[in-house]
Amino acid sequence: MTQISLKFDFANGGRLGPGKVDLLEKVGEHGSIAAAGRAMGMSYRRAWLLIDALNHMFVEPAVVTQMGGRGGGAASLTPFGETLVRRYRALQAKTARAAAEDLAALEAVLRPAGD
């Protein structure tokens, strides 16, 4: 089945797409930027840079961090971060519903995989 992937290029130069939203969801699940990055197969530095970009893209941060001690630091989604994920997923679902008929028509004429 075809999946729709949305990417937004905002007027302020910020970009939001499925990778950043997936990372936010992983931060919410794991409570750590490092663990979220590992879950997605990316380095801590890459994950941190993406979170930093998100936190500077909007007027409110999407993720807050706490400095760690022996067990390391922690990270969590802010209420805005949760809203950002929810709105992106809602836009994704609405787009999929709106495009369903046209996508089905295109899928009907696809060459089979392996041909």
The Cα-based distances of 18 to 108, 113, 115 in angstroms read 26, 25, 29
Q: 24: closest CA among 96, 74, 76, 69?
A: 76
The Cα-based distances of 52 to 9, 15, 35, 61, 111 in angstroms read 17, 12, 16, 9, 42
Task: Give me the CATH code for the 15-65+76-108 domain, please.
Answer: 1.10.10.10
Q: Indicate yes or no: pTM above 0.85.
A: yes
pLDDT for the residue 84:
98
Please write the tens of the pLDDT for every residue from 34-88.
999 999 999 999 999 999 999 999 999 999 998 866 666 799 999 999 999 999 9
